[in-house]
Chains A and B, each alone.
Chain A
Amino acid sequence: MAIEATNGKKGWGDQDQVPGIKSELLELNMGPQHPATHGVLRLLLHTDGEIVYKVTPVLGYLHRCAEKIAEGVDYKQWVVYTDRFDYLAPMTCNHTYVTAVEKLGGIEVPARAEHLRIATAELSRVASHLIALATFGLDMGAWTPLLYCFREREEILNLLERISGGRMLYNYMVPGGVRYDLPRDNWVADVLEFVTMMEKKKLPDYNTLLTYNKIFIERTSDVGIITREDAFAYGCTGPVLRGSGVKWDCRRDDPYSLYHKFDFEIPVGMGEMGTVGDCWDRYIVRVREIEQSCRLIRQALEQLPEGPYQSIELKKPVRVPAGAAFTRTETAKGELGHYIVADGGQKPFRNKVRSCSMCNLQVLEKIGVGLMVSDLVATVGSLDIVLGEIDR
């Protein structure tokens, strides 16, 4: 069973290894209640000692019928459900959905709204990547970076709370703009101050604590390698794809909103500590994306134009003509796609979501074979899945 994937090493799971002794693989349920599975993911492992021979992700423990609910609520009401996909970066999920509705309805978005959207979405992305670093470190047994990352995330939540009113589930973007303009206090200055602090002081701390720690490098380099071909074959997106050395980012290659106006780079994994596409590469891509997001936030807020922030008044319902539209945006976890089929009424006929975490998780079946149990935990951590988005 899958011997070739373990570099030819034969294990006890091979029945003819020891004549006369019946041996079989150990079936192990990792999850749905397990500290390393980031929510309610269940991994069915077949192991031989520490070596994993087969790994099957079992999904559906957080299924909430969000797509079906979409058929019963109108276009604006469903924004609150998109918050609950990737609950670590809800702004980016909002963004996907509202761009889909706008594309369908041909709704113009004012420039100020786009700038605010980009700033908040990138703040959300930073928050999500901070959690990714934190939980990845926690999977390695490093507790302290977790608390530090959460401390910085708290700052972001406070900032987003001031502009949107919500701490985690913002419901901030609406088709045709954003719900509220800047708050009355000096929000922009505070965001810029936070971004500077993040770049100058906090990221170097994380790099010392985790990134360039020898134990951390040993644990993550050359582990869970996703090759370029695998990444394409399984439809990986986001940091997982870029960690494999593919320079693809929706914000640059399929620009939406006003991302084409801004100057930012796309970090890719280069195999600095091992092979291209290992856990360390996926990790470092996230660290560098935090820097790039900080750049984007600064540009978006410094160039913030005056003007309206909504093209449709909040109290009016959004109406879109019959038709279908698909948009994809780069969320913190990858490319989130929204496909909306409208029949001209107040509610969509069908709403389909292309979940990036789901595709990223599937690759585990391929790369998880032959890893040790500890490495599997690290690999799941490096994929940075969020179950709210996988199961919807």
Chain B
Amino acid sequence: MEAMYAFFMDKAGMGQAGAHVTVAAIMATLMFIVMALCALVFTWMERKVAAFLQSRWGPMRTGRWQGWAQAVADMLKILGKEDIIPAEADKALFIFAPLLVLLGSLLAWAAIPWAPGFVAADLDLGLFYIFAVSSMVIIGILMAGWASNNKWALYGAARGAAQMVSYEIPLALAAIPVVMYTGSLNTQDIVIAQQGGIWNWFIFRNPFLFVSFFLYFVASIAETNRGPFDMPETESELVAGYHTEYTGMRFAFFFLSEYANLFLVSMIAVLLFLGGWWAPIPGLDFLPAALTFVIKGVLMVFLNMWVRWTLPRVRVDQLMHLCWKVMIPAALICTVGAGLWMMASGAAG
């Protein structure tokens, strides 16, 4: 990053403002490309993981090896589809909703530290920023469900809004012990604090942090509307939930956003609890930092998929029960417990 600034400021003769704009533009484009790529890869991966868990093959034809090109073919197909806006829909909102959903996930990607110094927006409030902008997805979902003027979509949107608003709380609360340990909301600082092998990762620092990780994981599944908490979609109840009426490119935006969000929460789990770009044992240091980071993220995604394809779905009131009566108290206890542990072991800061 510093080198990029230096290059644009000195070599290209752009001045400070120009260099900032250029670097931001490059990073934004890069993030969007990575996000689109990861949506493609994870679509394929989801199908293969689901298939192998269920004793099937999954896609095997498109492309040569294990149907790797299936996601690409799907994306091309979806782009070629007719774009339908229902006659009774609220057109402006209907068009705007998918963009908002996508925007919410894309913005949060800016504060992800891929490698030392390599982060699109190195914010001091990085973690706070991530949680804040990813809440925008809720507005998009509510908007989509309302604008479609479809009863199933409305159901999905109402459920989704209730669920995601509620699960923001345990999600953020579970991250607080880590912030307490680090003393910073900057995502890079959080990762740097976990340097030095697997035993320095926050997940293994103390039992409260371990429980926090678990709470974060459960809340992140709910936050991405997947797995046993896919209330806004609930395929067997609400047909397709909030995106029932969407086709073509607009549907693709929801799809993209789902997988972008999935990878986003997995990466946040990695940077908060699983040591970010640090290798688990010192012997694995030769791997590039970004690669270590992505591998950990993909493993978390795999865990997410594994849960999704195993468990039945909870009911909407049980979901709320789980959030307000189990996870939030547990997260609060973890926060207090981790604080006491810190005091007892004198490991402040």
Contacts and interface: CB of A to CB of B under 8 A. Distances in A.
A219 B316 CA distance: 10
A374 interface: yes
Nearest to A33: B239
A139 B236 contact: yes
Given A35-B235, A139-B236, A373-B155, A218 B314 contact: yes
Contact of A374 (B50, B53, B158, B315): B315
Interface string A315-335: 000000000000000000000
Given A215-B314, A372-B316, A375-B315, A141 B309 contact: no
B311 A373 contact: no
A141 B315 contact: no
Interface residues of B, number: 26
B17 to A, nearest CB: 51
A110 to B, nearest CB: 41
Contacts of B234: 141, 374
B310 A209 contact: yes
Interface stretch (A77-85, A144-152, A175-183, A268-276): A144-152
Contact of A138 (B50, B236, B309): B236
Given A34-B239, A35-B236, A141 B312 contact: yes
Contacts, number: 76
A372 B312 contact: no
A151 to B, nearest CB: 6
Nearest to A378: B315
Interface string A371-387: 01111010000000000
Interface in B274-331: 309-318
A368 to B, nearest CB: 14
A244 to B, nearest CB: 23
A142 B315 contact: no
B151 A141 contact: no
B312 A213 contact: yes
A interface SS class: helix
Contacts of B311: 141-142, 213, 215
Contacts of A374: 234, 237, 315-316
A210 interface: yes
A12 interface: no
Contacts of A372: 315-317
Contacts of A302: none
A375 B236 CA distance: 12
B316 A50 contact: yes
A232 interface: no
A373 B309 CA distance: 23
A28 B314 CA distance: 22
Given A144-B309, A210-B312, 19 more contacts: A34-B239, A140-B236, A140-B313, A141-B235, A141-B236, A143-B50, A143-B54, A144-B53, A147-B56, A148-B55, A215-B311, A218-B314, A219-B314, A373-B155, A373-B237, A374-B237, A374-B315, A374-B316, A377-B237
11 contacts: A34-B239, A35-B235, A50-B316, A141-B228, A143-B50, A148-B54, A215-B312, A215-B313, A216-B312, A219-B318, A377-B236
Interface of A: 26, 28, 34-36, 49-50, 137-144, 147-148, 151, 209-210, 213, 215-216, 218-219, 372-375, 377
